[in-house]
Structure formats: structure tokens, C-alpha cells
């Protein structure tokens, strides 16, 4: 049930079947010289859609902006602040409850630490205020260990493989590996000068076969999170 494609009577009828909604959250940011800026958002939307084909659940319109620290400075990265993300997610969670939903799964395709912290805090604030169950997950946690190259991440083997399945027409070649070295503890204003071409991984190892396996692993992981969300007993 794709929320944005439904009329209110259809949504009202759907709420008799399920009161769970997935909120895909992504980002608009560079993904190397070969992947589109919608990569994180598209991955979250497609996983949510496949989950909804297998289980009765609503899928809300995606939020295509997030907190993007490492990729700031690249053309195409449009980052919002942590407070802005906290505020909009908090308001959306309250609005979901007001319209009749009882369970919300925030599925984020972008997994930066500041981004995740903002989502988690928004969820904590919302469940403290209203009777609502919220789970927060990035599907990357279900697939991060499946790459051939150790340390593969942003725009590397995993994301390129997934995009070869989701939107091959938007993949502009398979550039060579890039594993930028950044300070572990140093807090810096800008890391663009350390990022090279914006890749953190090895796109040359990508393939559609891997992409299909990664997609299935992500879907299975999210289905497990939904099972926990809908069945976990709420303390009285």
C-alpha cells in the first residue's frame, strides 16, 4: 500500500488491515562519479516497496534529505542540519499517530552517525509523547559484511551492485577503488579534500548478481524488524 498513491477512503480501509507504516529516509548527496545523488533514497524506497509486496504494510512518501557530513562540498550534496532532521521526523511521527497508525518503521538508506543520531532522538521524543511504536533501522546493517572488499562503503561495491539492479540506466561505469584515509578522532570542519572522487570502496567488484543477493538480504532483514515491531509487548 503506497500511501501517496491512495485516496483517503482507501487509506481508511487499509487501516483496518494494518496500522503499520514504513517511512523511507534517504539523502541527496554525491555517490562518486558514477552513481546518482538519489542513491540512498532510492535504495530505501525500493526495499520498502518490496517488503510491502510480501507483508501488509503502508509505505509513506520518502524524505530525500539527511545529514551528510563527509560528502559536504561536493556538487549535488544537499545536507540539512541535525535539528532540522529531528524536527521533521518528530512531526511526521506525531502526524502518523494522529492519522491512525500505531507502528512506524523508519528505514534509512543513509547511515551517517549524525544522521542516525538525529533520527533516534526524534523517535525517542515521539514515543515519550504519544502511544506509538517506532523502530529505526538502516538496511546497510544487514548487508555490510557481504562485500568482497574489506571496508567497502559509500558508492563502492555494495551500493553500485544494488544500483545495477534498481536503476542500471543511472550507473555511469565502474570506476576504480578509492579508500580515503581520514582522521579517526580529529573533528574537522570539512573533509572534502580527503575524499578524492567521493567513493569509499571498490565499484569494480560490483555486479547485478551481487545486487540481487544484497536486495534480498536487506528485505529479509527489514521483514525481521517489522516482526519485532508489531509483536513486541508494550509495557503497561
Give the DSSP letter string of 11-33: HHHHTTT--EEEEEE-----BTB
In a domain? residue 32: yes
Is it the case that residue 236 has pLDDT exceeding 60? Answer: no
pLDDT of 90 reads 98
The answer to whether position 60 is within a domain reads yes
The proportion of the chain whose per-residue pLDDT surpasses 70, expressed as a percent, equals 98
pLDDT mean across residues, the chain = 93
pLDDT on residue 89: 98
Sheet holding 103-108, edge to edge: 58-59, 20-25, 103-108, 133-138
Handedness of CA 166, 169, 170, 174 (dihedral sign): positive
Q: To 10 degrees, what angle do helices 208-231 and 39-54 make?
A: 60
CATH number at residue 95: 3.40.50.10310
**Is 27 part of any domain?**
yes
Structural domains in the chain (count) = 1
Q: Is residue 48 part of a domain?
A: yes
Q: What is the pLDDT averaged over residues 222-233?
A: 92
Tell me if 28 is assigned to some domain: yes
Is 197 domain-assigned?
yes
158 pLDDT above the threshold of 80: yes
Region of 63 on the Ramachandran plot (φ > 0 left; ψ -120 to 50 alpha; else beta): beta
* 235 belongs to a structural domain: no
Please give the model's pTM, rounded to 2 decimal places.
0.94
Residue 165 lies in a domain: yes
pLDDT value at residue 235: 53
> Which residue range(s) make up the domain with 58?
3-230
Amino acid at each position: 500500500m503506497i500511501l501517496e498513491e491512495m485516496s483517503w477512503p482507501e487509506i481508511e480501509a487499509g487501516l483496518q488491515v494494518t496500522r503499520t507504516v514504513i517511512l523511507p529516509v534517504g539523502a541527496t548527496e554525491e555517490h562518486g562519479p558514477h552513481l546518482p545523488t538519489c542513491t540512498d533514497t532510492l535504495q530505501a524506497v525500493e526495499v520498502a516497496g518490496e517488503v510491502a509486496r510480501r507483508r501488509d504494510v503502508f509505505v509513506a512518501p520518502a524524505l530525500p534529505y539527511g545529514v551528510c557530513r563527509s560528502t559536504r562540498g561536493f556538487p549535488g550534496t544537499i545536507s540539512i542540519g541535525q535539528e532540522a532532521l529531528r524536527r521533521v521526523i518528530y512531526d511526521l511521527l506525531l502526524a502518523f499517530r494522529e492519522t491512525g497508525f500505531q507502528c512506524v518503521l523508519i528505514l534509512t538508506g543513509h547511515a551517517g552517525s549524525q544522521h542516525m543520531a538525529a533520527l533516534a532522538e526524534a523517535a525517542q521524543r515521539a514515543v515519550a509523547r504519544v502511544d506509538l511504536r517506532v523502530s529505526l533501522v538502516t538496511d546497510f546493517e544487514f548487508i555490510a559484511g557481504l562485500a568482497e572488499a574489506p571496508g567497502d562503503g559509500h558508492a563502492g561495491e555494495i551500493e553500485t551492485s544494488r544500483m545495477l539492479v534498481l536503476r542500471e540506466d543511472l550507473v555511469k561505469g565502474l570506476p576504480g577503488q578509492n579508500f580515503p584515509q581520514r582522521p579517526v578522532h580529529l573533528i574537522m570542519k570539512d573533509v572534502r579534500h580527503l575524499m578524492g572522487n567521493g567513493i569509499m570502496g571498490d565499484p569494480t567488484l560490483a555486479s547485478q548478481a551481487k545486487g540481487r543477493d544484497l536486495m534480498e538480504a536487506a528485505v529479509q532483514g527489514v521483514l525481521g524488524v517489522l516482526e519485532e515491531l508489531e509483536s513486541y509487548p508494550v509495557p503497561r
